Structure 1
Amino acid sequence: MEQEEGKKEEAGEAEKDAAAAEEKAAETAAAVVVDKDIALWGVPLLPSKGDEATDVVLLKFLRARDFKAGAAFEMLRRTLRWRRDWSGFNPAADADLPEELAGACYLDGADREGHPVCYNALGVFADDAVYKKALGTEEGKARFLRWRVRAMERHVAELDFKPGGAASLLQVTDLKNSPGPAKDFRIAVKQVLDLFQDNYPELVARNILINVPFWYYAFSTLFNPFLTQRTKSKFVIARPSKVTETLLKYIPIEAIPVKYGGLKRDDDAEFSADDGEVTELTVKGSSTETIEIEATEADATLTWCWAGR
Structure 2
Amino acid sequence: MSGKSYLPTTPPAPVVEADPRATLTDAEREMYAAVLEHFSVPTYTLPGVENGELLEEEKFWLSCECLLRYLRAVKWKSSNAAIERLEATLKWRREYGLYDLVTASHVEPEAVTGKEILFGFDMKNRPGFYMFPSRQNTDEPTRQIQFAVWMLERCIDLMGPGVETIDLLINYGDKSKGGPAFSVARTVLSILQDHYPERLGLALIINVPFLLNAFYKLINPFIDPVSREKMRFNPQVVKDSIFTPEMVMADAWGGSSEFEYVHDKYWPALVELCESRKETWMKKWKEEGGKVGIKEWKYKCGGELTSKSTEVDEKVVVEDVVTVETSEAVTN
Q: Same fold (TM over 0.5)?
A: yes
- Class of the TM-score when normalised by the shorter of the 2 chains: 0.5 to 0.7
Q: Is the 8 A contact 1:175 1:211 kept in 2?
A: yes
More helix by share: 1
Quote the residue 1:56 is aligned against.
65
Change (3 A) 1:152 1:254: same
Q: Is the 8 A contact 2:102 2:150 kept in 1?
A: no
Note if 1:231 corresponds to 2:227.
yes
Quote the residue 1:274 is aligned against.
none
| Structure 1 residue matching 2:236: 3-state secondary structure | helix
TM-score by length of 1: 0.60
| Structure 2 residue matching 1:159: 3-state secondary structure | coil
d(CA) in 2 for partners of 1:171 and 1:121? 11
Which structure carries more relative contact order (alpha carbon 8 Å, separation 6+)? 2
- The one of 100, 119, 122 aligned to 2:130: 119
CA apart distance, 1:71: 2.8
CA apart distance, 1:110: 0.7
Query: Letter of the aligned partner of 1:180 in structure 2?
Result: G
Query: Letter of the aligned partner of 1:228 in structure 2?
Result: D
Q: Is the 8 A contact 2:238 2:244 kept in 1?
A: no
Quote the residue 2:121 is aligned against.
110
Query: Letter of the aligned partner of 1:117 in structure 2?
Result: G
Q: Is the 8 A contact 1:88 1:146 kept in 2?
A: no
Change (3 A) 1:199 1:257: same
Q: Is the 8 A contact 1:112 1:252 kept in 2?
A: yes
Change (3 A) 1:245 1:100: closer
Structure 1 stretches of at least 4 aligned residues deviating more than 6 Å after TM superposition: 39-42
Deviations 1:10-34 (A, max 9, x none): xxxxxxxxxxxxxxxxxxxxx9931
Quote the residue 1:81 is aligned against.
91
Structural mapping, 1:227-306, within 5 Å: 227-238=223-234, 243-244=235-236, 248-259=240-251, 260-266=253-259
Query: Letter of the aligned partner of 1:179 in structure 2?
Result: K
- Greater shift, 32-41 or 83-92, is seen at 32-41
Quote the residue 1:178 is aligned against.
176
CA apart distance, 1:43: 3.3
Structural mapping, 1:140-179, within 5 Å: 140-160=140-160, 162=161, 165-176=162-173, 177-179=175-177
State the aligned residue count. 209
Query: Letter of the aligned partner of 2:167 in structure 1?
Result: L
Quote the residue 2:214 is aligned against.
218
Structure whose CA Rg is larger: 1
Note if 1:43 corresponds to 2:60.
yes
Change (3 A) 1:253 1:179: same
Q: Is the 8 A contact 1:209 1:235 kept in 2?
A: yes
Q: Is the 8 A contact 1:41 1:156 kept in 2?
A: no
d(CA) in 1 for partners of 2:42 and 2:61? 18
d(CA) in 2 for partners of 1:246 and 1:217? 25
Quote the residue 1:66 is aligned against.
75
Change (3 A) 1:91 1:264: same
d(CA) in 2 for partners of 1:141 and 1:101? 14
Change (3 A) 1:96 1:64: same
Q: Is the 8 A contact 2:170 2:206 kept in 1?
A: yes
Q: CA RMSD in A?
A: 2.9
d(CA) in 2 for partners of 1:83 and 1:185? 24
Change (3 A) 1:246 1:109: closer
TM-score by length of 2: 0.56
d(CA) in 2 for partners of 1:205 and 1:39? 28
In structure 2, the gaps of 5 or more residues are 1-40, 46-52, 261-332
